[in-house]
C-alpha cells in the first residue's frame, strides 16, 4: 500500500529572491531560510517518491476567465519562473495524479478540475526551489483558489485533505508520498476584490488577472511596483495561535472561520492557509513540529515552517 511519510507547511515569498540584500531583519530571514533547509532535509530523510504539492495561484497560471476551486495537474506541468523561481517543465507523477483525480470523482465527494498542461507560479515553485532542492522526486500539483472570490470554504479544504489521503492509500504499489502546503501566514496584499475594484491600481490588477493568459509578463513590472509600495500588515499573534493549533493536531479548528473572518483576522494573504489545512488533514492532523516563525515586514508576510512526521508521532516523539 502507498503511504504518506511526511507533511510540510511553509510560507513563500518571492522577495526572498529579489530583495534579500535589502532585507533589514537578516537574522530573521536567515532563521527562516535555515528552517526551509531543515524541512528539505526531513523530506530527504523520509525518501518520498512523490510530493503532493499544494499551492495557491497568483494569476500567472490561472486567470479570471476560468478559476476552479481545486485543480490537479495530471500531465505536463510548467512553472512560470517569475522573480527567480524555477522555470519550465516540472516532473509529474502522472499515474498517481490521475489516480487521485479519478478517485475523488468516483467517491462522489469531489469534482476537481484537472489539467493536462498546468502552469504553476511561485505558489508552488517557491517550494520546489527551496524544499525539493536536489531531491529526486516527482510531484502531483494541486492548486487551490485563494484569491478570486468566491473561495472554497475552509471546511471543504479540510475534507479534500482527508479524501486525498484516502486516494493515496488506495493507489496500487508502494509509493512513498509527502504532502507540502505552501503559503501564508498572515499578510495583506494590495489586491482588490475583483468584483469591485477601486482606483487605477485596482483596475489595473483586475485587468491583468482577466487578460493575462497570453501575455502575463506584460503586466508583471507594474504588479511588482504595486506590491512593493504596500505597507506590511502582519498579525504575529494569529500566526502563533495557528502554529500552536498545528502543533496540537488541532488545525481543523481553522474551519470555524469564514473567508471574511479569516481575512479580517490575518489579511487576504492568510487565505493561503487553506494549503496548510489541506496538508494537515492529509496527515490526519497528527501533531506538527514548528521549525520557525519569523515576522518579515520587508517581505509583507509572517513566515512559518512546520513538519508533520507520522513516524515520530507513532513513536511518541512529537510534541
99 catalytic? Reply is no
Specify the 3-state DSSP secondary structure of 63.
Answer: strand
The region that residue 183 occupies, defined by phi over 0 for left and psi between -120 and 50 for alpha, beta otherwise, is: left
Query: In 3-state terms, what secondary structure has residue 42?
Result: helix
- Residues 245, 184: Cα–Cα separation, whole Å: 15
- Of the residues 12, 58, 187, 285, only one is catalytic, namely 187
- CB-based contact 136:51 (threshold 8 Å): no
Annotated catalytic, 187? yes
Instruction: Tell me whether strands 138-144 and 70-80 are parallel, antiparallel or unpaired.
Output: antiparallel
CB-count burial class (<10 Å; 0-12, 13-18, 19+) for 268 = buried
Residue 267 near residue 199, CB atoms below 8 Å: no
CA distance linking residue 183 with residue 122, whole number of Å? 10
Helix (H) or strand (E) holding 120: strand 113-120
Backbone angles phi, psi at 180, to 5 degrees: -120, 130
Burial class, 290, CB count within 10 angstroms (exposed 0-12 / middle 13-18 / buried 19+)? middle
**Catalytic site residue from 122, 162, 198, 285:** 122
Give the residue numbers marked as catalytic.
122, 187
Amino acid at each position: 500500500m502507498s503511504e504518506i511519510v511526511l507533511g510540510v507547511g511553509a510560507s513563500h515569498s518571492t522577495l526572498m529572491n529579489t530583495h534579500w540584500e535589502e532585507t533589514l531583519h537578516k537574522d530573521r530571514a536567515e532563521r527562516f531560510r535555515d528552517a526551509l533547509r531543515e524541512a528539505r532535509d526531513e523530506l530527504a530523510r523520509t525518501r518520498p517518491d512523490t510530493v503532493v504539492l499544494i499551492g495557491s495561484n497568483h494569476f500567472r497560471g490561472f486567470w479570471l476567465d476560468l478559476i476552479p476551486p481545486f485543480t490537479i495537474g495530471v500531465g505536463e506541468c510548467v512553472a512560470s519562473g517569475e522573480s527567480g523561481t524555477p522555470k519550465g517543465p516540472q516532473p509529474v507523477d502522472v499515474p498517481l495524479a490521475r489516480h487521485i483525480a479519478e478517485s475523488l470523482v468516483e467517491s462522489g465527494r469531489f469534482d476537481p478540475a484537472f489539467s493536462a498542461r498546468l502552469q504553476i507560479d511561485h505558489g508552488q515553485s517557491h517550494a520546489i526551489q527551496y524544499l525539493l532542492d536536489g531531491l529526486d522526486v516527482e510531484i502531483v500539483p494541486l492548486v487551490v483558489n485563494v484569491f478570486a472570490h468566491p473561495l472554497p470554504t475552509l471546511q471543504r479544504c479540510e475534507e479534500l485533505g482527508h479524501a486525498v489521503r484516502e486516494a493515496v492509500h488506495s493507489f496500487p504499489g508502494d509509493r512513498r508520498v509527502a504532502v507540502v502546503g505552501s503559503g501564508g501566514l498572515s499578510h495583506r496584499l494590495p489586491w482588490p476584490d475583483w468584483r469591485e475594484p477601486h482606483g487605477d491600481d485596482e483596475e489595473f490588477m483586475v485587468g491583468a488577472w482577466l487578460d493575462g493568459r497570453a501575455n502575463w509578463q506584460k503586466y508583471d513590472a507594474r504588479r511588482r511596483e504595486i506590491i512593493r509600495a504596500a505597507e506590511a500588515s502582519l498579525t504575529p499573534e494569529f500566526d502563533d495561535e495557528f502554529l500552536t493549533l498545528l502543533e496540537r493536531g488541532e488545525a481543523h479548528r481553522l474551519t470555524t472561520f469564514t473567508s471574511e473572518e479569516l481575512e479580517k483576522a490575518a489579511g487576504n494573504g492568510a487565505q493561503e492557509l487553506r494549503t496548510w489545512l489541506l496538508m494537515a488533514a492529509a496527515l490526519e492532523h497528527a501533531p506538527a513540529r514548528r521549525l520557525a516563525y519569523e515576522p518579515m515586514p520587508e517581505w509583507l508576510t509572517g513566515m512559518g515552517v512546520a513538519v508533520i512526521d507520522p513516524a515520530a508521532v507513532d513513536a511518541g516523539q512529537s510534541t
